[in-house]
Amino acid sequence: MELGKEFTATCILSEYGRQYTRATADDISWMFRNVTVDRKYYTKINESTISITVNITEETKSPLKCNVISHVLSHPESKNVYGMLFTVGYPPEMPKNLSCWVLQSGDQLSHIMSCTWNPGARDPLLKTTYSLHARYYSTNISNMSIQKNYGELDFQTMPIYTTVTIQVEAENELGK
């Protein structure tokens, strides 16, 4: 889930669930980890459905759980009927200031091009992969970098006297 964005979840009691628990929408509660979400964030949609809308912050802790109070036993008991695990973070910023170089020894060019870039100031908080891409003529070369600000491309034979387009991409589960 993206930090700073709103998130809406809906909990629906099935007909069987309502009969089994004798519960209604008023018996549904939401929890992040083990902290109950204040009812002011609830929206009652009908007698069997409640949704919540919350702003995602770093304090929003996984899992999100939908609980229902069952009235079957002599004393009401809260039962978890739905849950989801999640992580919070940001989509990666677009890498900037891409700089690349090739080493030369005498009249020989290395076949390796090294590149650095600025990944951005904001930490995405999620695993983010960076990939370098080169294109010239009809040839494409790519490399997934294990570092967030450095990578290398192996050209086998370094192209000379031609335009080579180099780009870097950052990607995580929230976007590119």
Is the pLDDT at 156 greater than 80, yes or no?
yes
Q: What is the pLDDT of residues 6-50, one digit of tens each?
A: 999 999 999 888 888 889 999 999 999 889 999 999 999 999 999
Domain architecture of the chain: domains with CATH = 6-84 (2.60.40.10), 96-171 (2.60.40.10)
Q: Tokens for 86, please give them.
A: 């999640």
DSSP class of 15: H
Report the SS3 class of residue 73.
coil
Report the SS3 class of residue 99.
strand
What's the one-letter identity of residue 118?
Answer: N
145 vs 165, residue with greater confidence = 165
Residue 2: the pLDDT is 93
- Cβ pair 132, 151 in contact under 8 A: yes
Cα dihedral angle (75, 76, 81, 82), rounded to 10 degrees? Answer: -130
- Cβ pair 91, 98 in contact under 8 A: no
164 alpha carbon, distance to own chain's centre = 32
Mean predicted confidence (pLDDT) in 106-127: 93
Residue 81: the pLDDT is 86
Report whether the peptide linkage leading into residue 92 is cis, meaning its omega lies within 30 degrees of zero.
Answer: no
